[in-house]
Amino acid sequence: MKGLGADKRYWEALSDGRLELPQCAACGRWRWPAPFRCGDCGGWDFNWQTVEMRGEIYSWTRTWHPFEGTEHLGSPFVTLSVALPRAGGVRLMGLLDGEVEPAIGAIVTGKGAVSHVYGRDIPAIRWQVSQ
Ligand SMILES: [Zn+2]
């Protein structure tokens, strides 16, 4: 993908429906957003690991009014911040699918999806509350 930096691998994996996140090769800390250098130990090398798209809702917000680039979602829509316990608790953003009331701490599973925004296909994660 063109124009991407330290997070290039994340976007490429998500385009294939997989989640990959960087873990510092020196200190083992999971890092997201992806840095070029570890903010804890100063290491430059990262091991990109495949991570299951499963976590818990850390926070959420419901948007009632569309704004530029979200018109295709309809409204209202719910955006989640999901903590991933298998990746050191790093948090990822994504949309919640379905007509369910989100709750802090609820377990969600994700899947890769593509949104067409501003004339481009952008990979994203769509989350569903686990039953
Ligand atoms: Zn480190």
- Cα 4 to averaged position of ligand 1 atoms, centre (Å): 22
Q: Which domains does the chain have, with CATH numbers?
A: 1-51 (no CATH), 53-131 (2.40.50)
DSSP, residue by residue, 40-97: TT----EEEEE--SEEEEEEEEEE-S--TT-GGG-SSEEEEEEEEGGGTTEEEEEEEP
| Mean of pLDDT values over 86-93 | 96
- Cα 93 to averaged position of ligand 1 atoms, centre (Å): 23
| Mean of pLDDT values over 44-63 | 97
Handedness of CA 90, 14, 23, 4 (dihedral sign): negative
- Cα 85 to averaged position of ligand 1 atoms, centre (Å): 18
Reduced to 3 states (helix: H, G, I; strand: E, B; else coil), residue 126 is strand
Tens digit of pLDDT for each residue in 6-27?
A: 999 999 999 999 999 999 999 9
Query: Between residues 122 and 96, which one has the greater pLDDT?
Result: 96
- Cα 129 to averaged position of ligand 1 atoms, centre (Å): 32
pLDDT of residue 74: 81
- The answer to whether 109 touches 131, Cβ cutoff 8 Å, is no
